[in-house]
Structure 1
Amino acid sequence: MKVILTTLNAKFIHTSLALRWLYVARDAAFDTEIQEYTIRDNLDEVALKLVESKPDIIGLSIYIWNQEESKELVRKIAKLNASIRILIGGPEVSYEYSDWLSLPIEGVLRGEGEISFWKACRQEEEIEGFVSKTVQSEIAYAKVDLRWLETLESPYFLAFDLENQKNRYLYIETSRGCPYRCSYCLSSLDNQVRLYSEEYIMNILKQLEGKSCKQVKFLDRTFNVKPERALKIAKCIEQLNVDFSFQFEVVLDTMNEAMLSFFEHANKERFRFEVGVQSFNQHTLNSVHRVQDLDKLVANIKRLSLAGCILHVDLIGGLPYEDLNSFKDSYTRLFACGATEIQVGILKLLKGTTLRNQASNYGFVYEEGSPYTILETSWLSSEEINVIENVYQATEKCYNNGRIRGTLDTCFQMGYPIFEVMSLLGLKMKEFDGQVQIRDYFLMAFDVLSTMKLSDPLIIKALLNTDYYMNFRQNPKPLFNDEISGEKKKELYKLWINRQYFDEQILYNYGKIRLGFYKNQIMIQTLIYDAKQNYPKRYWFSLEGEKQ
């Protein structure tokens, strides 16, 4: 019998570790293969390819990002060949599944499927976590012994993955489960942490040498749950001869001094940290059972940020007891920490979570379909949710990608209300007519910042110029046209050539002179582009033309 394991990933760059664990745990009696697609693929074509592969069984993995597409895919497969047995599993169907049973599927496998899936393929009678129209397992959520998984072929270096792995993320897990009980998170439903052995993990890491991937992402809900073990793993990663980075989710307020000190001095390009902050409102945190030492958290974010570590920090808008003023305070406090990226999300009421079951208590109105995003709460109107969405868009497009980061950081230090800046900038982006180009973001930022009248517009222009020209590999269209007169430019060119600061031909062919902001004052920046389309080299001069 032939089995196809499949899913619809969010993008090609992603892969499904779950399918690979099922594959290495496969029953040798079945001819098994993996076929992965994305939610952007044509579902008619996907269904046809699957059916033309002539499987007897299809195992389909369901997630929040693909559930609607997966339902449609199931219908299309059944229409093409009703005799194919379809088994589904994954977090989206492990806790609420009744609507899936009306579809042409054989059953739902809740929990970890490395054993239960193959029992279902063999149509055994007692299957942990299995549900169908006629059968429901007494054990609701299947779990497997990680020590047994360690005896299987590694799911991380399968031969059929090697060709495309350099262009994709490699997902690795060193544990399963989460020690915390945050009521908005599915991971809180499995709060018994189980660890793979150190020997197993170290062996996996050492095999990464000589391999290539876009980035290694650890799926552990709390990488530093066991500090000594986590530090050993981090030190092993530091010593690997690889050219890609590693991303972890960490609880930063509990990170001990040994780990903090290590990461302060480690290779900053090797590690990337995901830090859940969610809110600075203590009442809000208490209501969702999130235990967090805010003072330690802030101190550690600032410490690692100052050391140059790459930190991606999260906030969630729409949690209980957080109105717009409270969220504004959370965003402003987090912005002040200086992290590399700020992820602003709107609360999603995931199936199975405690908070979803408490929705009526908090006046939650949310999308019926995935991703179940909050539309309003007892503390936030739909209009205020839109304000947070605008802040998200501006933060992503203008700050996290570094595009206008320097300007925004400096304006914040100068006293600009950063939340209002981002909300107005996000609104301008939303109302923009047409496709937004890089220059458009800067002009919108100038409109927002200059309208606030908190500083000289010339300073704002200089700040924006300082960021703008470093976004291009070729001499771009000027951001502003009225900064330095043609006569002044000729005078400066002549001065710098006479002093042999620049080759005359290079300066005239590849140079650009604009106002900038350096050492807390307006200066002149000279940018030299080149024929190889590298990013420009920048040189600073006083307004009188003296080299800095």
Structure 2
Amino acid sequence: MRNRPKVVLVSIDSRFIHTNIALRYIKAFTKDLEYDCLMMEYTIQSPLMDMLDDILDCEPDMVGFSTYIWNVEQVSRISRLIRLARPSIRLLFGGPEVSWNAEESLMGLKGDYIIAGEGEETYRELIEKCLDNMETSGSFSLGDNDEVRGLATIRNGIPMVYPPRDKMDLARLPFPYSMDEDLSDRIACIEASRGCPYSCSYCLSSAEKDLRFRSVASVMDDVESLLKLGAKLVKFMDRTFNAHPDAAEVFRRIISLDTSAVFHFEMSPSMVNDAQMEVLKEAPPGRIQFETGVQSTDENVLHLIRRHSKGFREGLLSLLTLGNIHHHLDLIAGLPMDTMESFRRSFNEVYSLGPDVLQLGFLKIIRGTPMESEVKRWGMVHSPFPPYQVISTATMGRADVGRLKAAEKALDKYHNSGKFVNSLTYAASFHEDPLVFFEGLGNALDSEGYRVRSPSSDDYYRIFLMYSARVLEMKAGFEPGLMRDLVKYDFLLWNRRQGIPFFLERIDKDTNDIRRKLKREEGVVGHVEWFENDVVSHISGNERNPGPVAVLFDKSRTHGKIITL
């Protein structure tokens, strides 16, 4: 007979590569208690019935769910199935999607407990009191008179929300990962702080004012441990990393590490200072990634969402000019008083800065945020279902939002994928309005039936070539042949097969003798392709040689090299 109670903590992520740090924290924070705690990880694509069997086979006394905007529907379904199959199991929920209104969420999910806010100390006290009650009553649950700050529960069929708990001292945070985990193919997460210095009206973080920081030593101890577990991508979960007073020192230590791992940070350009800039200049290329929420460049829009913008442009430009850091910039469509024209200006201004990734997102009316109470003021219509995306506003109609969705699709597939760098750079240099260019490219995808399904790899390149040639053919200096060769070049960088699609017009010249000679005389193995135009010199900015030219793509396919015959 089993004496120790068992809790199963369930994570449902968008992709398995993600790791849930919240559940790992509460598990590690209670590892000294006399109970068994298992963690089970799934994705939103995981079959519900398989998840149910997995969880029930563990014979848990309690099941806990980490609940977010992207998984709340799956969490709701699997928890209801557990309730039907095994009514005696206690159901615990936590996370931002249930914390904002714990009483309503508790009733809607038919749960037993909800942790509202930070979970470590509340979860520990819950488990401790459940263990105590088990000693006296045999039931792994709260006793009739037990109260736990930061918790909501059901008493006699009525939801009861206990007073909030004080924020914990971050020095008490344990290392969240188990030392037998393999993080080589997953995103490893870490925190250097909690809280946010800003009060953006669309974000739940606007309600959390207690900005707290961990010491540099504790942060770097965790970094070293993550690297020992094979982490190749370490993501700092801080809402504004460089608000940390010792951000420059953390950067310095990460830059000095002997590792090929990549470190991802969310940054506020307004808070970039000289000390940070001096350190960041020394970062080896590829070591650091920055994500920055620009959201809009319209000062009126920024004011209406209570987003501080002083020094933002200057700081962003300083970061972008470093040249050794990968930059991911975010824009949000559908903000208060934003129009197609003002958003077009924002998009084109930010695109012109040359970010590696430009994310075009749509406003989500997250429950519990100040924005939720302002939807009537701004004439917003939004989906009542997660992720609560805006359908239209008083200043941006549904058709406008549809146009931006087309642009977002093309932007993600062609710019953000990194697979069209050379051909897109050439095409964009002839188009005065990047947003219009991407909107038209998205419409070209939709017109071929790809609104709700994905094209093949070949079709992405074919549609890009067809669209670009059509809209740019009358532009002075535009060369259709060079455009085709640049598309062919990008295609070969990312496709390792020997053949190429018909629309890229392969030159009928033999390459077998060249490849054999390269292998015999230089030990080089790769793919050789003929081009009408000297694309390699064009890309590098050098004077182009007369064509046709043969280009070698080695096994790595990172670049092409002209072969001198």
With normalisation by structure 2, the TM-score equals 0.86
The CA deviation at 1:270 is 1.1
Is the 8 Å Cα contact of residues 186 and 352 (structure 1) preserved in structure 2?
yes
**Corresponding residue of 2:483:** 460
The CA deviation at 1:131 is 1.9
In the alignment, the residues of structure 1 paired with residue 373 and residue 151 of structure 2 have an alpha-carbon distance, to the nearest angstrom, of: 23
The CA deviation at 1:432 is 2.8
Change (3 A) 1:479 1:100: farther
The CA deviation at 1:142 is 5.7
Aligned residue runs from structure 1 range 258-297, under 5 A: 258-292=275-309, 293-297=311-315
2:176 maps to which of 155, 158, 161: 155
**Corresponding residue of 2:335:** 319
1:221 maps to which of 231, 239, 242: 239
More deviation in 427-436 or 415-424?
427-436
1:70 maps to which of 57, 75, 84: 75
In the alignment, the residues of structure 1 paired with residue 527 and residue 121 of structure 2 have an alpha-carbon distance, to the nearest angstrom, of: 64
In the alignment, the residues of structure 2 paired with residue 169 and residue 313 of structure 1 have an alpha-carbon distance, to the nearest angstrom, of: 20
**Corresponding residue of 1:5:** 9
SS of the equivalent of 1:446 reads helix
**Corresponding residue of 2:353:** 337
Change (3 A) 1:512 1:61: same
The CA deviation at 1:505 is 12
Change (3 A) 1:109 1:460: same
In the alignment, the residues of structure 1 paired with residue 432 and residue 492 of structure 2 have an alpha-carbon distance, to the nearest angstrom, of: 23
1:538 aligned onto 2:538? no
In the alignment, the residues of structure 1 paired with residue 166 and residue 531 of structure 2 have an alpha-carbon distance, to the nearest angstrom, of: 63
- Cα deviation code 1:65-88 (max 9, x no counterpart): 110010111110011110111111
In the alignment, the residues of structure 2 paired with residue 276 and residue 449 of structure 1 have an alpha-carbon distance, to the nearest angstrom, of: 30
1:447 maps to which of 454, 463, 466: 466
Is the 8 Å Cα contact of residues 198 and 206 (structure 2) preserved in structure 1?
yes
SS of the equivalent of 1:136 reads strand
More deviation in 179-188 or 513-522?
513-522
Is the 8 Å Cα contact of residues 493 and 553 (structure 2) preserved in structure 1?
no
Aligned residue runs from structure 1 range 21-420, under 5 A: 21-26=25-30, 28-97=33-102, 98-121=104-127, 122=129, 123=142, 125-133=146-154, 134-140=158-164, 143-149=167-173, 152=174, 154-156=175-177, 158-160=178-180, 162=181, 164-227=182-245, 229-292=246-309, 293-304=311-322, 307-420=323-436
Is the 8 Å Cα contact of residues 129 and 139 (structure 1) preserved in structure 2?
yes
The CA deviation at 1:538 is 2.6
In the alignment, the residues of structure 2 paired with residue 511 and residue 366 of structure 1 have an alpha-carbon distance, to the nearest angstrom, of: 52
Is the 8 Å Cα contact of residues 263 and 289 (structure 2) preserved in structure 1?
yes
SS of the equivalent of 2:384 reads coil
In the alignment, the residues of structure 2 paired with residue 483 and residue 201 of structure 1 have an alpha-carbon distance, to the nearest angstrom, of: 54
In the alignment, the residues of structure 1 paired with residue 442 and residue 553 of structure 2 have an alpha-carbon distance, to the nearest angstrom, of: 31
Letter in 2 for 1:128: R
Alignment length (residue pairs)? 525
The CA deviation at 1:482 is 5.5
Structure 2: runs of 5+ lacking an equivalent: 130-141
Change (3 A) 1:138 1:245: same
The CA deviation at 1:213 is 2.0
Is the 8 Å Cα contact of residues 552 and 562 (structure 2) preserved in structure 1?
no
Letter in 1 for 2:198: Y
Is the 8 Å Cα contact of residues 111 and 142 (structure 1) preserved in structure 2?
no
Change (3 A) 1:447 1:84: same
In the alignment, the residues of structure 2 paired with residue 478 and residue 45 of structure 1 have an alpha-carbon distance, to the nearest angstrom, of: 41
The CA deviation at 1:359 is 1.0
Is the 8 Å Cα contact of residues 383 and 391 (structure 2) preserved in structure 1?
yes
In the alignment, the residues of structure 2 paired with residue 508 and residue 215 of structure 1 have an alpha-carbon distance, to the nearest angstrom, of: 31
Change (3 A) 1:442 1:297: farther
Is the 8 Å Cα contact of residues 193 and 244 (structure 2) preserved in structure 1?
no
More deviation in 117-126 or 5-14?
117-126
- Cα deviation code 1:132-170 (max 9, x no counterpart): 343533534663222232xx4x213x145x2x3212111
In the alignment, the residues of structure 2 paired with residue 509 and residue 137 of structure 1 have an alpha-carbon distance, to the nearest angstrom, of: 66
Is the 8 Å Cα contact of residues 469 and 476 (structure 1) preserved in structure 2?
no
Change (3 A) 1:80 1:231: same
The CA deviation at 1:343 is 0.9
The CA deviation at 1:240 is 1.9
- Cα deviation code 1:325-381 (max 9, x no counterpart): 111111111111111111111111112111122111111111111111111111111
In the alignment, the residues of structure 2 paired with residue 69 and residue 481 of structure 1 have an alpha-carbon distance, to the nearest angstrom, of: 44
Letter in 1 for 2:337: Y
More deviation in 378-387 or 412-421?
412-421
Is the 8 Å Cα contact of residues 286 and 324 (structure 2) preserved in structure 1?
no
- Aligned-pair Cα RMSD in Å: 2.9
In the alignment, the residues of structure 2 paired with residue 374 and residue 141 of structure 1 have an alpha-carbon distance, to the nearest angstrom, of: 33
In the alignment, the residues of structure 1 paired with residue 168 and residue 39 of structure 2 have an alpha-carbon distance, to the nearest angstrom, of: 21
More deviation in 99-108 or 337-346?
99-108
The CA deviation at 1:294 is 4.3
More deviation in 472-481 or 192-201?
472-481
In the alignment, the residues of structure 1 paired with residue 66 and residue 528 of structure 2 have an alpha-carbon distance, to the nearest angstrom, of: 54
- Cα deviation code 1:278-324 (max 9, x no counterpart): 111111100001111343144224313xx131011111111111111
SS of the equivalent of 1:217 reads strand
In the alignment, the residues of structure 1 paired with residue 201 and residue 317 of structure 2 have an alpha-carbon distance, to the nearest angstrom, of: 26
Is the 8 Å Cα contact of residues 519 and 525 (structure 2) preserved in structure 1?
no
Is the 8 Å Cα contact of residues 431 and 437 (structure 2) preserved in structure 1?
no
Change (3 A) 1:43 1:528: same
Change (3 A) 1:33 1:286: same
Letter in 1 for 2:414: C
The CA deviation at 1:126 is 2.6
Change (3 A) 1:505 1:233: closer
In the alignment, the residues of structure 2 paired with residue 184 and residue 298 of structure 1 have an alpha-carbon distance, to the nearest angstrom, of: 22
